[in-house]
Amino acid sequence: MKNNVVHFKDLRNAGASTADIRSALGCCLLKVSRGVYSVVSRCEVRAHRYFSRFATDSAWMTYHEEQRDKERSQRRRYEANLKRLQVLHYPHYRAEDTVFGVSAARLHRIGMFDEPDEPVSVFHPASSTKSPELIRRRRIISAEDVCQVEGLRVTSPARTALDLRAELGSAAAFAAMEQVIRRHLLGNDEDLIFKLGYSSHLLDEVPGAVADLFGAPIARLRRGRKVAARLVALASPLSESYAESRAAFNLHLLGLHDFVQQVNIADDGRLLTRLDFLLREDQVALYVDGTQKYVDGGFDVMNKESRQHNRLLAMGYKVLRFKFNEVLDPKTFGQRLFFQAPELRRRCGQPLVP
């Protein structure tokens, strides 16, 4: 059992009392949701001996025993995993339930930010119900828009990305679309992608991939087909993070469609750096900074980037860096961009209207 997930009735059947379960919380047992728990450490307390048979994922326990779940660098990923477990192990699904929306995005590991902490969301062809743990909406979904994730019926990754627009807005849906396209063309192993780099023909494959992934699902939408088609037509597999997708979305909002991503810059025949975004005509380079690399690399990373920054300036580039919270707000992003690079205003074409 991955993550040592176990249900209340199974703990009771193993001999644990309600008092035993309650006393183990904060010790060797983690509450995932109502009636769903996870064994997170090896425990010598006699009253907790019933839980050991469910502790088969030793890596999960070591992770908690070393308190890695408390590390700042791990927090967001850890919380996303717990939310995924809540969806995956909800105990009262019906046979025809189909997980959708934010809940489906969690199962597909589609990156989101500040998504609402809501009950599990499912479609059902004939029933609608609501409880603190699950909202069931009556809707018939085409079988072509449904897949399986660890035994659960879930809207496909493409349909999930489209559905996120109604729940989280166009920016989050665009980021999800880019993740779906990226995984379709490049796979899930980001370390391998980084090692191999990007094929020179990658962008030539994007229109066909977009048509295959999103063409039919968009045609089956009840509403919002035109907006969905506009968004997916601008999506790229080259955004390497949620923040980069949001930055790309902001550039399209401003009408700055003519940018390139993941651009290698050479200096005397050696790779100097790779730019997140480049507006070639004006030699404006954009970086979208996450905090994780500074947590991992510390001052060494900062010093390296300072040297790269100075060399780029000497080569004639204007370099702009955006923090995560700045790309989340299109207005702030636009103000900073045009304040530091006012020459870009004349490059603006038809802005994206999401």
Return d(Cα 133, Cα 153) in angstroms, integer. 18
Domain boundary among 197, 229, 261: 229
pLDDT exceeds 70 at position 28? yes
Quote the strand ranges of 71-186, DSSP E. Answer: 98-99, 120-124, 129-130, 134-138, 146-149, 152-155
Average pLDDT (189-202) is: 94
Are the C-beta atoms of 198 and 255 separated by less than 8 Å? no
Task: Choose among 65, 49, 60: nearest CA to 17.
Answer: 49
Q: Which domain holds residue 314?
A: 239-347
Q: Could you tell me the pLDDT band of residue 298, with boundaries at 50, 70 and 90?
A: very low
Residue 90: CB atoms within 10 Å: 22
Considering just the CA atoms, what is the radius of gyration of the chain in Å? 23
User: Could you tell me the CA-to-CA distances from 106 to 102, 155, 306, 334 in Å, in that order?
Assistant: 6, 11, 37, 30
Q: What is the CATH number of the domain that holds 243?
A: 3.40.960.10
Q: Could you tell me the pLDDT band of residue 295, with boundaries at 50, 70 and 90?
A: very low
Q: Residue 322 falls within a domain, yes or no? A: yes
Structural domain count, the chain: 3
Let me know whether 196 and 289 are in one domain.
no
Please tell me the predicted confidence (pLDDT) of residue 174: 98
Let me know whether 101 and 205 are in one domain.
yes
Let me know whether 175 and 89 are in one domain.
yes
Return d(Cα 31, Cα 58) in angstroms, integer. 18
Residue 137: CB atoms within 10 Å: 15
Q: Could you tell me the pLDDT band of residue 289, with boundaries at 50, 70 and 90?
A: confident
Please tell me the predicted confidence (pLDDT) of residue 70: 92
Average pLDDT (249-268) is: 96
